[in-house]
């Protein structure tokens, strides 16, 4: 296709911004990506240290139910998990489905994918300028993909908020999502078990139940099961979270096991052999003063103080309010400016949902920009 005589600036070189740049460049648009950090996609690279959970393999309707904002659904349906996997494969990045259904690159790193992606973008004529801050409203059309407010030292520092509020654009205050929660452990428990996982547990809070894994930290508790409940824990504090150490057994089945004679075993060995409890689970019962009977093992109450803080949360909730944005991801009060990624007000648990939404909204914002401002002929809108 003959290149069009249009140019667009994209601000933010994370997954949302780079995806927007790719969609625009594939339509023949001259694209410059600006990032105020010394290198692109720094938070993306940090996420990749743990294996880079790109997306999830569960059915799409179940996948979409993980999000706290229905407005994001259309973008993900237009670029669902299988499309993201195909896109990664097109970069030469093979993927696999883990035992939990999560999808990872076989190399279990972000850096090979990012290198291949930047090489593709360079070949498409996309220019990348680092240490280049956003100059503020005025340049149109442009796409903003600034990220949220977690891990600010990696670039998502929310420094754009004053300019938005000065223009009357509503921004929901950022809060920690997928965050560690503080627990005042005893020094003995902290020293022995910090860094220890608690596997295959069920958690219940405010009527919502999830299964997953916990991780004991020096400050408190974290892990996928806590992250899945983080919104309720954050917004409706005060109740204990109930931990079920044997979610695969009924109370009655567990009680029957606990009728077996203890003999000469210590209580810890007895609970390990008969109830299948790990040392950390046994000591959590002791730490909380919970009886080591069937009821206590199936519903141990743990009181959490508060989220550990926004700066070290995996992701953030809050951002540009959805009623400020059109269905094309264009700001209503700043025509020609499109927004994408974590700077929008949505949240999701870990498990591939965060990156999927960043890629999908970046693509949606680019397609909106093409349709609304770059006058593509019918039949050429992003295809």
Torsion sign over Cα 41, 159, 146, 129: negative
Under DSSP, the state recorded for 220 is E
The confidence band for 49, taking pLDDT boundaries of 50, 70 and 90, is confident
Q: Contact, 50 vs 338, CB < 8 A?
A: no
pLDDT exceeds cutoff 90 at 50: no
What percentage of residues in the chain have a pLDDT greater than 70? 96
pLDDT at residue 329 greater than cutoff 90? yes
Q: Report which secondary-structure segment, H or E, holds 287.
A: helix 279-288
Q: How much is the average pLDDT of 282-287?
A: 97
**Domain ranges in the chain with CATH number 3.50.50.60:** 7-176+314-373
Q: How confident is the model at residue 315 (pLDDT cuts 50, 70, 90)?
A: very high
Entry pTM: 0.88
Q: What is the average per-residue pLDDT within 95-105?
A: 94
Question: What pLDDT, in 10s, does the model give residues 120-129?
Answer: 999 999 999 9
The pLDDT value recorded for residue 5 is 53
Tokens describing residue 8? 């667009």
pLDDT, tens only, 236-265: 998 999 999 999 999 999 999 999 998 899
- In this prediction, residue 378 carries a pLDDT of 43
Q: Which residues contact 79 (CB under 8 A, 6 or more apart)?
A: 359, 360, 363, 364
Q: State both tokens at 201.
A: 């547990």
What is the rounded CA–CA span in Å between residue 90 and residue 93? 7
User: Which CATH homologous superfamily contains domain 7-176+314-373?
Assistant: FAD/NAD(P)-binding domain (3.50.50.60)
The string of pLDDT tens digits covering residues 337-366 is: 999 999 999 999 899 999 999 999 999 999
Q: Which residues contact 199 (CB under 8 A, 6 or more apart)?
A: 213, 278
Which pLDDT does position 2 carry in this prediction? 43
Place of tokens 């209503």: 332
Whether 56 shows a pLDDT value over 90: the answer reads: yes
Q: What is the pLDDT of residue 1?
A: 40
The conformational region for residue 105 under phi > 0 = left, psi -120 to 50 = alpha, else beta, is: beta
């Amino acid at each position: 296709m003959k290149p069009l005589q249009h140019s667009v600036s994209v601000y933010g070189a994370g997954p949302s911004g780079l995806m927007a740049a790719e969609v625009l460049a594939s339509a023949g648009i001259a694209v410059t990506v600006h990032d105020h950090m010394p290198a692109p996609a720094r938070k993306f690279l940090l996420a990749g240290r743990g294996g880079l959970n790109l997306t999830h393999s569960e059915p799409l309707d179940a996948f979409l139910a993980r999000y706290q904002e229905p407005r994001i659904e259309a973008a993900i349906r237009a670029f669902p998990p299988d499309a993201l996997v195909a896109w990664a494969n097109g970069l030469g990045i093979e993927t696999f489905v883990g035992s939990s259904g999560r999808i990872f690159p076989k190399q279990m790193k972000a850096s090979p994918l990012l290198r291949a992606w930047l090489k593709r973008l360079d070949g498409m004529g996309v220019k990348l300028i680092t240490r280049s801050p956003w100059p503020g409203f005025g340049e149109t059309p442009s796409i903003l993909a600034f990220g949220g407010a977690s891990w600010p030292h990696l670039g998502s520092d929310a420094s754009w908020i004053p300019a938005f509020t000065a223009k009357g654009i509503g921004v929901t205050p950022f809060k920690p999502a997928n965050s560690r929660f503080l627990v005042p452990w005893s020094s003995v428990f902290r020293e022995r078990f910090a860094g220890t996982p608690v596997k295959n547990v069920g958690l219940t809070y405010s009527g919502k139940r999830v299964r997953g894994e916990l991780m004991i930290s020096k400050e408190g508790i974290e892990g996928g099961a806590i992250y899945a409940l983080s919104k309720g824990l954050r917004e409706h504090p005060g109740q204990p979270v109930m931990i079920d150490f044997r979610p695969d057994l009924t109370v009655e089945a567990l009680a029957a096991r606990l009728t077996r004679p203890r003999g000469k075993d210590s209580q810890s060995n007895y609970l390990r052999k008969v109830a299948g409890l790990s040392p950390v689970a046994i000591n959590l019962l002791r730490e909380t003063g919970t009886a080591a009977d069937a009821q206590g093992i199936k519903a141990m109450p743990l009181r959490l103080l508060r989220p550990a803080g926004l700066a070290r949360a995996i992701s953030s909730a809050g951002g540009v309010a959805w009623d400020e944005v059109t269905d094309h991801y264009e700001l209503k009060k700043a025509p020609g400016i499109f927004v994408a990624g974590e700077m929008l007000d949505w949240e999701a648990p870990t498990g591939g949902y965060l990156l999927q939404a960043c890629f999908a909204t970046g693509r949606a914002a680019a397609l909106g920009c093409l349709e609304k401002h770059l006058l593509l002929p019918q039949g050429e809108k992003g295809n």
